[in-house]
Structure 1
Amino acid sequence: MLLASSPFKEIRLDRVSRAFGNVNALRDVSLSIAKGEFIALLGPSGCGKSTALNCIAGLLATTAGGIYVDSRRIDQLKPEDRGFGMVFQNYALFPHMTVRQNIGFGLKMRRTPRTEIDKRVEEALGLVRLETQGHKLPGQLSGGQQQRVAIARAIVIEPPLVLMDEPLSNLDAKLRLEMRAEIRRIHNQLGATTIYVTHDQDEALSLADRVVVLRDGAIRQVGAPPELYESPDHLDVAEFMGFRNRLTGKVTAREGSFATIAVGGTTLSGRLRADLAVGADAVIAARPDDVAGGPGGANSIGATVETIEYRGREFVGTARTADGLELIFHAPSRAALGSAISLTVDPGRALVFAA
């Protein structure tokens, strides 16, 4: 049975930086990852998440700082001497080799005995559920199957750490969901530590034990998925967690952990995520599914419907206030284009940040 080898207590990034000329792709990144954790590096394109992964893998040299496995510094080691498994976005399979040959390639390079290679390749095929596909070439497989081969090749060497660089981005929506569950299952069964790069918040939230949100090469927030989803510390983190509605105004009142801000000719309340005094400029942010179109009432704002889409159980639309502010909302029935609508914001789920 395949298991992670060379156990460690922690992998640690200590003020790691990486510059490309005058551009700082990583800036003083410090992070500790415990054995067996599943960590997701999340952020938009260009935030530094793939750069961080490649520095850990040894594919990129660090400009400053160090990377440690327990007390041993590894950032000066060659990639092959680190013993990590890597899964690339584009699979990177050898087209002229069979599935078995692709999976066993790393073991062959390590001069592993033939009988041991055969045994571990079969175990890896079983782990990724490709037992009947070992004789085929990559071109004869679907995208999802090719990604499973890439994962099997990474784990067959029994690495203590598996690095995954947006492995599902080339798959369709159905396959992404299926492979997401498979990746978590394999992680649990293998017992390795996993660092997973993605720009998809759903992937990060569903897979990871902790999510690391990066922006402009720096860590903005680290936390468990429920913590980041419910209580992001910064507006940019909230935006990446799905708070697509953002309205700017001034704080008119505070009561405990809630604040009321004047916006769009009305007032809206939400949970404070910054220490704001009355009169301060603020932004209230809410997810579309926490903004409901309906008869109105408390914590509501008037708008005109601009688009409406049927999404199965409900409708999702965009509406614009008299001040030109756009809001995305959910509604139980179709609203007529151009009609006036009252949008109610759930005050317990809306967040108030400094502007």
Structure 2
Amino acid sequence: MAIASAGFRELRLDGMSRNFGAHNALKEISLTVQRGEFIALLGPSGCGKSTALNCLAGLLSLSDGAIWLDEKRIDTLKPEERGFGMVFQNYALFPHMSVRRNVGFGLQMSGVPKAEIERRVDEALNVVRLTSQGAKLPGQLSGGQQQRVAIARAIAVEPPLVLMDEPLSNLDAKLRLEMRAEIRRIHRLLGSATIYVTHDQDEALSLADRIVVLRDGEVRQIGTPQDLYRRPLHADVAEFMGFRNAIQGRLVRREGEEVEVDCGFAGAIRGQAVDVAGDRVVVAIRPADLVPMADGPIHAEVTGLEYRGEGYYGTATEPGGAELYFRTDAPLGVGAAVQLGAPAERTLVYAAGGVG
């Protein structure tokens, strides 16, 4: 079943920019999205991801650049003329209308014949597995069901593109996991493209075909989930992708990508050079990779520990005062001395100044 427009091949953002006075909220965003692709816009609050989505939807005009759907320029069109589906964070359902009326509302406002509205509503409710709930009011549904109604409303217009703005942020942890699987299933079923805004790296990694990392209105990296997870190209991207340990140091040896860094510890830290220009560098390590080792170069004192099922995650302070995040299989006590290290192949090194 493919609801998306038959002629749709690609969406192209060509230098899309948006200014609010002197503030550049989006700076020349360029991206090509193929039909059937799931794209996640990922970044911290204020990075421009929701602004980008609103520009795509037509809720904000561009300050510069263009948006193309195949050979047709669409940034000059009104929101309703673009034919995109939009799923909001707060569902935006009409509480006094039944599920069926909510799903068909946009079609009714567009003047679609009644019989066609009924067909599309039936199809959309079937896709989101809510066929038996059509007569209920939104308030009679769970949070996850309400979000599925919002998705059904978005896909009932048979859009070439579905835009989702942090749609799972109001759900509890269990429902978020369930709805991730549902959203991915629905996306595959539709055959349209999806652009999904999130600040949650786990959501982006689990859902997207490609991830676009934004920071201060600029694209920092575009890649597959595997690309972003294994090898962030910049220190700020690494920080956002879970490399919580950012340790300043000085490059003392380099052979190709293999480097050694003096961070003032008992021994040098070995790692992989990713974006290194001079000898002042920052070493990036995920907490899961920083573990106790008999010959670990980092001598530290445990300051906290919590159990997470597969092991313990803790904090430790090294003599210079920096706080580090590590994993251990042993229930270490607060105040215990520990030597920490990480595999060189999972330790990434960047030019200093790229984090924070």
TM range (shorter): over 0.9
* Helix, strand or coil at the partner of 2:202: helix
Aligned equivalents of 2:347, 2:16: Cα separation in 1 = 35
Q: TM-score, normalised by structure 1?
A: 0.97
Q: How does 1:1-355 map to 2 (within 5 A)?
A: 3-265=3-265, 266-276=267-277, 280-293=279-292, 295-297=293-295, 300-355=297-352
Displacement after TM superposition at 1:264 (Å): 3.2
Displacement after TM superposition at 1:141 (Å): 1.0
| Cα offsets for 1:327-351 (capped at 9, x unmatched) | 1000001101001001121211110
Q: Which runs of 5+ in 2 are unaligned?
A: none
Identity of aligned residues (%): 61
**Cα distance, 1:24–1:348 mapped onto 2, change above 3 Å:** same
Aligned equivalents of 2:201, 2:310: Cα separation in 1 = 22
Total equivalences in the alignment: 351
Displacement after TM superposition at 1:6 (Å): 4.2
* Helix, strand or coil at the partner of 2:268: strand
Displacement after TM superposition at 1:313 (Å): 2.1
Displacement after TM superposition at 1:31 (Å): 1.0
Give 2:244's aligned amino acid: R
Aligned equivalents of 2:212, 2:317: Cα separation in 1 = 34
Displacement after TM superposition at 1:75 (Å): 0.5
Q: Which runs of 5+ in 1 are unaligned?
A: none
Give 1:139's aligned amino acid: G
| Cα offsets for 1:66-98 (capped at 9, x unmatched) | 111122111010000000000011100011100
Give 1:64's aligned amino acid: D
| Cα offsets for 1:152-202 (capped at 9, x unmatched) | 000011101000001001111111100001000000000010000000001
Displacement after TM superposition at 1:121 (Å): 1.0
CA RMSD of aligned residues (A): 1.1
Displacement after TM superposition at 1:2 (Å): 5.7
Aligned equivalents of 2:2, 2:64: Cα separation in 1 = 35
Aligned equivalents of 1:60, 1:102: Cα separation in 2 = 24
Aligned equivalents of 1:300, 1:186: Cα separation in 2 = 49
Displacement after TM superposition at 1:312 (Å): 1.3
* Helix, strand or coil at the partner of 1:52: helix
* Helix, strand or coil at the partner of 1:97: coil
Give 2:308's aligned amino acid: R
* Helix, strand or coil at the partner of 1:132: helix
| Cα offsets for 1:20-78 (capped at 9, x unmatched) | 11111101111111111110000000000000010011000001111111221110100
| Cα offsets for 1:299-349 (capped at 9, x unmatched) | 531100000001112110000101112110000011010010011212111
Q: TM-score, normalised by structure 2?
A: 0.96
Aligned equivalents of 1:119, 1:84: Cα separation in 2 = 19
Give 1:268's aligned amino acid: I
Give 2:272's aligned amino acid: R
User: Is contact 1:264–1:322 with CA below 8 Å preserved after alignment?
Assistant: no
Give 1:347's aligned amino acid: A
* Helix, strand or coil at the partner of 1:94: coil
| Cα offsets for 1:282-306 (capped at 9, x unmatched) | 000010000112x422x53110000
User: Is contact 2:2–2:192 with CA below 8 Å preserved after alignment?
Assistant: no
* Helix, strand or coil at the partner of 2:159: coil
Segments ≥4 residues shifted beyond 3 Å: none
User: Is contact 2:300–2:340 with CA below 8 Å preserved after alignment?
Assistant: yes
Aligned equivalents of 1:229, 1:180: Cα separation in 2 = 19
* Helix, strand or coil at the partner of 2:131: coil
* Helix, strand or coil at the partner of 2:346: coil
